[in-house]
Amino acid sequence: MAAADALASRVPALIVAARQIARNVGQGTHSRRRAGQGDEFWQYRPAVAGESATNIDWRQSARGDRAFVREHEAQTPHTICIWCDNSASMRWRSDDSLPLKVERAILLALASAAMLLRQGEQLRLLTATAPPLRLQGPQALERMAHALLAALGGAADAPDLPPAAALPARSRVLLFGDGLYPARALSAFLRTARARQAICTLVEVIDPAEQHLPYEGHIRFTALEDETAVQLNASADLRRAYATLWARHQTDLRALCQAGGSPLVAHLTDQPPEQALLALHALPGMGNRP
Residues 155 and 228 in one domain: yes
pLDDT at 30: 44
| CATH label of the domain that carries residue 111 | 3.40.50
Residue 110 lies in a domain: yes
One-letter amino acid for residue 151 of the chain:
A
Residue 288 lies in a domain: no
Strands (E), the chain: 41-46, 68-73, 79-84, 122-125, 133-135, 172-177, 199-206, 217-221, 230-234, 265-268
Residue 98, C-beta contacts closer than 8 angstroms, at least 6 positions apart: 207, 208, 269, 270
Residues 54 and 86 in one domain: no
Characterize 76-86 residue by residue with b for buried, 16 or more Cβ atoms within 10 angstroms of its Cβ, and e for exposed: ebbbbbbbbbb
Residues 101 and 242 in one domain: yes
pLDDT at 61: 78
Residues 134 and 172 in one domain: yes
Residues 104 and 174 in one domain: yes
Mean pLDDT across the chain = 84
Q: Please answer whether residues 107 and 18 qualify as being in contact, where contact means their C-beta atoms are separated by less than 8 angstroms.
A: yes
Dihedrals phi, psi of 267, to nearest 5 degrees: -145, 130
Residues 169 and 57 in one domain: no
Residues 63 and 99 in one domain: no
User: CA 46, CA 271: separation in Å to the nearest integer?
Assistant: 53
225-283 pLDDT tens trace: 666 788 888 788 888 999 999 999 999 999 999 998 999 999 999 999 999 999 998 88
Check residues 16 and 288 and name the one with the higher pLDDT: 16
User: In Å, how far from its chain's centre is CA 251?
Assistant: 20
pLDDT at 2: 66
One-letter amino acid for residue 289 of the chain:
R
pLDDT at 74: 44
Residues 52 and 112 in one domain: no
pLDDT at 94: 94
Q: Please answer whether residues 94 and 209 qualify as being in contact, where contact means their C-beta atoms are separated by less than 8 angstroms.
A: yes
User: CA 61, CA 67: separation in Å to the nearest integer?
Assistant: 5
pLDDT at 43: 59
Q: If you ran DSSP here, which 8-state letter would residue 79 be given?
A: E
Residue 286 lies in a domain: no
pLDDT range class, residue 218, cuts 50, 70, 90: confident
Residue 290 lies in a domain: no
Check residues 180 and 224 and name the one with the higher pLDDT: 180
pLDDT at 222: 76
Residues 53 and 169 in one domain: no
40-86 pLDDT tens trace: 445 566 776 666 777 777 777 787 777 877 655 444 557 999 999 99
pLDDT beyond 90 at 210: yes
Residues 121 and 137 in one domain: yes
Q: How many domains does the chain have?
A: 2
Range of the domain at 48: 41-73
pLDDT at 272: 96
Residue 36 lies in a domain: no
132-156 pLDDT tens trace: 999 999 999 999 999 998 888 876 6
pLDDT range class, residue 105, cuts 50, 70, 90: very high
User: CA 231, CA 8: separation in Å to the nearest integer?
Assistant: 34
Check residues 176 and 128 and name the one with the higher pLDDT: 176
User: CA 198, CA 161: separation in Å to the nearest integer?
Assistant: 15
Region 123-129: what's the mean pLDDT?
Answer: 90
20-40 pLDDT tens trace: 999 988 754 344 444 443 444
Residue 245 lies in a domain: yes
User: CA 219, CA 96: separation in Å to the nearest integer?
Assistant: 18
Residues 99 and 237 in one domain: yes
pLDDT at 77: 55
Q: Please answer whether residues 67 and 61 qualify as being in contact, where contact means their C-beta atoms are separated by less than 8 angstroms.
A: yes
User: In Å, how far from its chain's centre is CA 165?
Assistant: 18
Residue 35 lies in a domain: no
Residue 287 lies in a domain: no
Residues 7 and 114 in one domain: yes
Residue 152 buriedness (CB in 10 A; 0-12 / 13-18 / 19+): buried
